[in-house]
Amino acid sequence: MEAKPIKASAVISMAAGILLLTAFQASAQNDTNRFHALVLAERGDQHEAFVVAALEWLKATARQDNFTIDVFEKPDQFNKAFLAKYQLFIQLNYPPYRWNDEAKAAFQDYIEQGRGGWVGLHHATLLGEFDGYPMWTWFSDFMGGIRFKSYIAKRVSGTVVAEDTAHPSLRGLPSTFVIDQEEWYTYDKNPRPNVHVLAHVDESSYQPSSDIKMGDHPVVWTNERMKARNIYILMGHHPSLFENDAYKTLVHNAILWAARDKSRDKAVGETNSRTN
Ligand SMILES: [Zn+2]
């Protein structure tokens, strides 16, 4: 006899529960997927074709993955308050010079204090004295204490060998993959003692072969001494990279990993920055 009112209230609370669950799922999805990325893009130089292809791909990826990108061609207006709007800084081949002092200080703070993540491609390690600018020493240290030495101007293909296959940036990638038409920068020393290397290039695989070699030649790495999740990917010269599934997967993984808020990892008891 009293089953009726109980039933009615059970139905109401069930319906409310479903509504609540739906709302929670929607907000959880927005929280985990949505972030703002700043893209500092090098324009109009030898990398124009690559940068154009990268921006097209980034726009499509941002739509698909529910994040936003703002593209800048100069770092002139960057300061701490400006960078605070972004959870990810993508350095799309823009070199580590032509930055004013305020922009440099803001970037250093962003990386050292982990105010957001960083993905740097190719020309981002053009470290040395170029175009009348001195080397940015802090940036050189960030990249493992290196200075740019040489590159394969005629471009060759090479086989990249994954090292830390458990790292989220290498998820879904084969243990080796070929990158075509790359310049394969070399440096005055190996960054390996100062960074965590995620992948290297097998120089014996170069087609055609080249004498411009490093021996042990890291091409993807992260500096775990910085609070920011950061990853440098040496490959990034030729626009055909955005027809290469392995390369697209690597950059995509790197973006999603670097954009994640490290403080959330701490909240769930993870201490290793390599976890995802
Ligand atoms: Zn290049």
CATH number of the domain within which 173 lies: 3.40.50.880
Residue 13 is assigned to a structural domain of this protein: no
In this prediction, residue 32 carries a pLDDT of: 52
- Report whether pLDDT(203) > 60: yes
Rounded to the nearest whole angstrom, what is the distance from the C-alpha of residue 161 to the centroid of ligand 1? Answer: 20
Residue 25 is assigned to a structural domain of this protein: no
In this prediction, residue 145 carries a pLDDT of: 98
Rounded to the nearest whole angstrom, what is the distance from the C-alpha of residue 183 to the centroid of ligand 1? Answer: 6
Rounded to the nearest whole angstrom, what is the distance from the C-alpha of residue 151 to the centroid of ligand 1? Answer: 8
Q: Which residues contact 141 (CB under 8 A, 6 or more apart)?
A: 194
Residues in the chain: 276
Rounded to the nearest whole angstrom, what is the distance from the C-alpha of residue 125 to the centroid of ligand 1? Answer: 11
pTM over 0.75: yes
Dihedral pair phi/psi, residue 183, rounded to 5°: -90, -15
Rounded to the nearest whole angstrom, what is the distance from the C-alpha of residue 237 to the centroid of ligand 1? Answer: 4
Q: Which domain holds residue 197?
A: 36-267
Per-residue pLDDT band for 21 (boundaries 50, 70, 90) equals very low
In this prediction, residue 34 carries a pLDDT of: 84
Residue 272 is assigned to a structural domain of this protein: no
- Report whether pLDDT(202) > 90: yes
- Report whether pLDDT(25) > 50: no
Structural element, H or E, at residue 232: strand 230-233
Residue 233 tokens, joined = 């990917």
Q: Are 94 and 123 in contact (CB under 8 A)?
A: yes
Q: Are 1 and 54 in contact (CB under 8 A)?
A: no
Residue 10 is assigned to a structural domain of this protein: no
Residue 261 is assigned to a structural domain of this protein: yes
Tell me how far CA of residue 114 lies from CA of 106, 111, 192, in angstroms: 12, 5, 22
Rounded to the nearest whole angstrom, what is the distance from the C-alpha of residue 123 to the centroid of ligand 1? Answer: 6
Rounded to the nearest whole angstrom, what is the distance from the C-alpha of residue 235 to the centroid of ligand 1? Answer: 8
Report the domain count for the chain. Answer: 1
In this prediction, residue 26 carries a pLDDT of: 43
Rounded to the nearest whole angstrom, what is the distance from the C-alpha of residue 54 to the centroid of ligand 1? Answer: 13
Residue 22 is assigned to a structural domain of this protein: no
What would the mean pLDDT of 149-178 be, rounded to a whole number?
Answer: 98
Q: What pLDDT, in 10s, does the model give residues 217-268? A: 999 999 999 999 999 999 999 999 999 999 999 999 999 999 997 655 544 4
In this prediction, residue 276 carries a pLDDT of: 41
Residue 31 is assigned to a structural domain of this protein: no
In this prediction, residue 266 carries a pLDDT of: 47
Rounded to the nearest whole angstrom, what is the distance from the C-alpha of residue 41 to the centroid of ligand 1? Answer: 13
Q: What pLDDT, in 10s, does the model give residues 204-215? A: 999 999 999 999
For the chain, give the mean pLDDT. Answer: 89
Going by C-alpha positions, the residue among 242, 262, 248, 234 that lies closest to residue 120 is 234
In this prediction, residue 1 carries a pLDDT of: 39
Q: Which residues contact 185 (CB under 8 A, 6 or more apart)?
A: 122, 125, 148, 149, 150, 151, 234
Q: What pLDDT, in 10s, does the model give residues 212-228? A: 999 999 999 999 999 99
Residue 214 is assigned to a structural domain of this protein: yes
Dihedral pair phi/psi, residue 82, rounded to 5°: -65, -45
Rounded to the nearest whole angstrom, what is the distance from the C-alpha of residue 50 to the centroid of ligand 1? Answer: 9
DSSP code at position 97: -
Tell me how far CA of residue 56 lies from CA of 74, 97, 229, in angstroms: 19, 25, 24
Rounded to the nearest whole angstrom, what is the distance from the C-alpha of residue 122 to the centroid of ligand 1? Answer: 7
In this prediction, residue 264 carries a pLDDT of: 54
Determine the residue type at 233: I
Rounded to the nearest whole angstrom, what is the distance from the C-alpha of residue 272 to the centroid of ligand 1? Answer: 33
Q: Which contacts of 58-63 are long-range, i.e. CB under 8 A and separated by 24 or more positions?
A: 58/90, 58/92, 61/252, 61/255, 62/37
What would the mean pLDDT of 68-88 be, rounded to a whole number?
Answer: 98
Rounded to the nearest whole angstrom, what is the distance from the C-alpha of residue 266 to the centroid of ligand 1? Answer: 38
Q: What pLDDT, in 10s, does the model give residues 98-154? A: 999 999 999 999 999 999 999 999 999 999 999 999 999 999 999 999 999 999 999
